[in-house]
Amino acid sequence: MSEESTESKAKHESDFCLPIKRILPEFESVTERYFEPRFRVSSIEDASKDECILFHSNRICVLTLAPSHPIVAEKKNILNIDFRVNGRKGNNTDRSRNKVSGKWKKGGQQLAENSTLCTIRCEDRTSYPVVACLKATLVEINENLSKNPQLICEHTWSDGFIAILLPSRNSVQSQKETLLTPQMYKEILEKRKNECNS
């Protein structure tokens, strides 16, 4: 491998905060090549709500768990993922039944930043709600997670994504700027580590 491709891989792994699995070491993965990661951390003390949004230049956003989320960090065994959530006014919504059509993804469920997408239940009896992080249209829930929920740990930023979201053209940039850059995220992780050690 050339020195340049080694540097490129190191830079991208640094941005993504997870080891990137490549088919050939000298070629970037699809995730590295086309997506920009941003992170949501609710507090320095609690990693259970840490999430990641992968932004594509065409506005499509892929929602995953952040590397610091306990499910990923501890490689927990997942029992199931429940996409049925309580909506506003007590209405129940099944995110897995989301249907969109056409180029502009009409008919998708509308989400706010704090809208729950699913709850992940683990064998150790812990459960973790996952929220949208963005005001957006729900384009797709990853149906493969129903059959193989462990994909979330094994292939966090590829086959183990949770949902695909589409923010409005007018808001995508401003929403992206409210989330943490990889560097800011790493600084939070360092603070957490220092607090645990003190």
- What is the rounded (10 degree) CA torsion for 39, 40, 45, 46? -110
Tell me, rounded to whole angstroms, the distance of Cα 1 from its chain centroid. 30
| Residue 198 DSSP one-character state | -
Side chain identity, residue 79: L
pLDDT averaged over the chain?
Answer: 85
Residues 95-127 have pLDDT tens digits of: 888 777 776 667 788 999 999 999 999 999 999
pTM of the full structure: 0.84
Instruction: List the domain boundaries for the chain.
Output: 35-188
pLDDT in tens, 127-149: 999 999 999 999 999 999 999 99
Instruction: Give tens-digit pLDDT for 77-93.
Output: 999 999 998 866 667 88
Judge whether 61 and 134 are in contact, CB under 8 Å.
yes
Q: Could you report the per-residue pLDDT of 39-91, keeping only the tens digit for each?
A: 999 888 899 999 999 999 999 999 999 999 999 999 999 999 999 988 666 67
Q: Does domain 35-188 have CATH number 2.40.50.100?
A: yes
Phi, then psi, of 172 in degrees rounded to 5: -60, -45
**CA distance to 10, 36, 141, 155, per residue, from 22 (Å):** 13, 17, 25, 12
Q: What is the DSSP letter of 128?
A: E
